[in-house]
Structure 1
Amino acid sequence: MAPTPADPVRPRRAIAALTASLLTIELLAGVQTYVTQTVLPLLAADLGGAHLYGPLDAAAQAPTFLMLPAGAWLLVRFRTDRLLLWFTALAVVGSATCALAPSAGVLLAGTAVRAVAAGALATVSMGAVVRGLPARHRQLVLAGLSGTWVVSSLLGPLYAVAVAQHLGWRWALVLHLPLLVAARAVAARCVPSEPAAGAGERVPWGWAVVLAAGSLTLALPVGPWSALAVAVGAALMLRAASALLPAGALRARRGRPAALSALLAVASAYFGATAVLSVVGHDALGLAPHAYGLVVAVPGLAWAVCGLWTGARPALDDARFRRRGARAAWGLVAGAAVVAVTGALADRPALVLAGLLVGAALLGGGMGSLYPDLLGRCLARPDPDDGLSDARAATAVVLAEAVGLALATTAAFTWLGSGLGLVHEPRTRVVVLYAALVAVALVAARRLAAAARSRP
């Protein structure tokens, strides 16, 4: 698969500054991700209990989907630097609202505001990578973005536990924001500011609403009908994703469309298994915050270490990508299986901690050994060109990953918080969830095999 885009003509100093700012943003975004995961059981206990897990995740995902499809439209109509600054300001407002929330309702509102900004910033930031960096450097920068998680996977949980214990979970949500604002300001100064080419982009608002509605439906508290709500929400999200991604992506047998569907499936398996580890460790398996904080850190650390290695040795041909994808998929399968067995059999805190650490490491290693190559395969223009613009490709990548993440995490949080009225024992919920994620990882393996076929 030979990438052929023309390199952006940019001064070396601007490229270096943009690279540094993007790496800093990714580092701090990683810290923020771990902060949210680590303090989630604490804020739920403070503001109302485990029934908040599903609605909070839905509030973080549904508004994002209203903005993700607008990404390409924003990039071709507005200056990239202004987009970065406007939506960064909105993200700060949302985070401050969460930190000051006196009730679950205000927390949900702040989460939704932050999600609106996150949806726009995800596509705009990916557009900055595509437009601001020469193609010959892009793969190394993508590897570097993975590498920042070596630091954030260690720093994030440590920071969250320390701040939450000494100042409270509210401060943990906002103390890092000044650094994030400064990094985005530097990126705004260095990215090409003019709108991207491709003024014909239109915003598919109808499908964006369907995506958001599906995400909300997944977490509806409708008692005995909750299982049906999850099924309907998942169907709505997959239907909307099928319409928003390149034609036939979910069933494609080769090329970038197949790679995008593989990204969706891989994101579902990985994030569905790892985003809920704090709840699994604390609520279901009885670990203390310092112990489950260690578990939360491991997947990102393993991802980052493996991502550094694979990103520096890209699998540019189909055969190498096929082998690497197969190994990664089996890592995801094994990781989910180990957590399921831990939930079923481990009866002492030391065994629980050991099992979760092994499962988390396998999950993170599987994702890290694949992600830079899969992302590169989704973004690089093939020869012959498949007609996807850079802005459209960036939007599709962010959308595929976000749909996979939201579908799996909202369903997982809803299941762990309520059991959908079907299962009441927390440990049993863990076993059932991770058994289902083994099946999702097997689907990801099939889609990766299709993505490895780049040519007819």
Structure 2
Amino acid sequence: MTSSTMRPDAGATVPDAGGGILAPALRATTIGVIALVSLHAFEALALTTVMPTIARDLDGASLYAMAFTATLASGIVSIVWSGNLADRRGPRPPLLLGLVLFATGLVVAGLAPSMGVLVAARVVQGLGAGMTSTALYVLVTRVYPQRLHTAILAGFSAAWVVPSIAGPFVAGLITQTIGWRWVFGLALVVLVVAAVLLGRIITGLRQDLVDVPWRWRSIVASVVLALAVLGLNAVADRLDPLGVTLAVLALVVVGLTLLPLTPRGTLRAARGLPTDIALRALAFAAFSGAEVYLPRLLTERDGLSPSLAGVALTVTGVTWFAGSWVQGRWDRHFEIGRTAAFSLAAIALTLVALAAAVALAAPTWVVIALFPVVGLGIGTLYPRVTAQALSRAGATEQGFVSSALQIGDSSGAATAIAVSAIVFAGAGSAVPNAYAAVFAVMAVPALLGWVVAHRVR
């Protein structure tokens, strides 16, 4: 896949009857996909909020970052495979299988007797999450006309609002009252509701086999990439010369394996589609590497309960939606290159300010107030570059482009979390220096994105 020009066949495969994403012909589809995105949002925010408690209860502090990296790494494999499957059979098979795997992971995680078992369950969750996410992006290109792509993708961000407001607090409250295991139980209930809502959509997504070959090279590369990311995370436990050498080798492997998984030129942010994918990956890397340590900082440094520590994530979810809502409603008024540059600059500068605030022992409210600016930046960026990337894909390339977007996000975030674990351990895992170092280093991906943002046009 090397094309970076708009394709005439990139629009919906159903007639455009006019109206918005809640028009009668699209209403059921919109509600169903938003419900599933809300599930992903709740699960991600809830686990980020309560993971410090889980790691403490299961005596698994050394696997804290791995619990996040494992999900993202396994998701890379399922994203590639399901993207290829979606090009051959449509979004229905990966959507169905993804729902089953996600549910299985939730059940095992809720019953996990040790941190190792929980990490294994997170691997299964990642497989399911990767499949359902890719299927939803393909569904957007198959069902919605191109003029509504930015709006429905902004709706994806909107689906984070209620989970962002209620998810961290509810997860923290459940943890403080009946135990963190029931957080997975609540997520399972949300999954069942989403599956019921999607029932009608899934039935209508049947597709005959299309003569698209299996991309075995990409599938094998995704497995190697996932193993490299997990290996990079494992290096945090040994920062001797051998460990540093292995970390460098793992980073090289990550870069090499991304070559067949993304459009040509993505690693150097070539103009067009490669830059669309690169900017999303860099922004999400900066966000994720910092986000996983924010609740841990607030509980360890400030002594906040899990529910109160989730307030920063709650406000961040709202600002993410605010940025996406503005882009979904008035995207034609904002030139995409300037929008991308503004968003990435806001992310980078805020993370630097957050690092300084932690290093200088700033009050809790300062830390909680700063991180939502990162959410505003990424929320402003995401729907624009995603809609543009999808519009460049032909009918038989939608799965590849959708999976490339997801791979960029997952590999960027997984690598960033692994690097943050190394930085955290290297700084002594202590307050405040380790946290300040993590936030400062996570500003680097956003700064790199700002440098190449002009190539998104």
Structure-2-length-normalised TM-score = 0.89
1:299 aligns with 2:316: yes
Partner of 1:338: 353
Partner of 1:193: 206
Say which of 143, 151, 160 aligns to 1:140.
151
Say which of 238, 250, 256 aligns to 1:222.
238
Change (3 A) 1:2 1:149: same
SS at match of 2:331: coil
Say which of 15, 19, 22 aligns to 2:33.
22
* Contact 2:106–2:125 (CA under 8 A) maintained in structure 1: yes
1:443 aligns with 2:448: yes
1:257 aligns with 2:271: no
Change (3 A) 1:147 1:96: same
Q: Is the deviation greater in 230-239 or in 246-255? A: 230-239
Q: Distance in 1 between matches of 2:6 and 2:225?
A: 33
1:322 aligns with 2:330: no
Partner of 1:394: 402
> Per-residue displacement from partner, 1:175-228 (whole Å, max 9, x unpaired)?
132232232343353152215755234232321122111111112133524444
Q: Distance in 1 between matches of 2:143 and 2:278?
A: 26
Between the aligned residues of both structures, percent identity stands at 25
Mind listing any 5+ residue stretches in structure 2 that lack a counterpart? 18-22
1:74 aligns with 2:103: no
Which residues in structure 2 correspond to 1:148-163 (within 5 Å)? 148-163=159-174
Partner of 1:42: 53
> Per-residue displacement from partner, 1:334-354 (whole Å, max 9, x unpaired)?
22012101211126xxx1x22
Change (3 A) 1:402 1:31: same
Partner of 1:104: 115
Change (3 A) 1:80 1:437: closer
Change (3 A) 1:196 1:227: farther
Amino acid at match of 1:234: L
Change (3 A) 1:325 1:198: farther
Deviation, structure 1 residue 363:
0.4
Deviation, structure 1 residue 306:
1.5
Q: Distance in 1 between matches of 2:152 and 2:209?
A: 21
Change (3 A) 1:430 1:388: farther
Deviation, structure 1 residue 320:
0.7
Q: Distance in 2 between matches of 1:152 and 1:312?
A: 22
Which residues in structure 2 correspond to 1:242-391 (within 5 Å)? 242-315=259-332, 320-346=335-361, 351=363, 353-381=364-392, 389-391=397-399
Change (3 A) 1:66 1:136: same
Residue-pair matches, total:
440
| Aligned residues: CA RMSD | 2.4
Partner of 1:213: 227
Q: Is the deviation greater in 11-20 or in 245-254? A: 11-20
* Contact 2:347–2:378 (CA under 8 A) maintained in structure 1: yes
Q: Distance in 1 between matches of 2:213 and 2:57?
A: 48
Say which of 418, 422, 426 aligns to 1:410.
418
Q: Is the deviation greater in 153-162 or in 190-199? A: 190-199
Q: Distance in 1 between matches of 2:248 and 2:315?
A: 31
* Contact 1:341–1:431 (CA under 8 A) maintained in structure 2: yes
Deviation, structure 1 residue 414:
4.6
SS at match of 1:219: helix
Q: Distance in 2 between matches of 1:181 and 1:152?
A: 16
Mind listing any 5+ residue stretches in structure 1 that lack a counterpart? none
Which residues in structure 2 correspond to 1:52-63 (within 5 Å)? 52-63=63-74
* Contact 2:344–2:377 (CA under 8 A) maintained in structure 1: yes
Change (3 A) 1:136 1:118: same
> Per-residue displacement from partner, 1:304-329 (whole Å, max 9, x unpaired)?
1121111211248xx81121112111
Deviation, structure 1 residue 42:
0.4
> Per-residue displacement from partner, 1:28-56 (whole Å, max 9, x unpaired)?
22111111101100000000142121322
1:431 aligns with 2:442: no
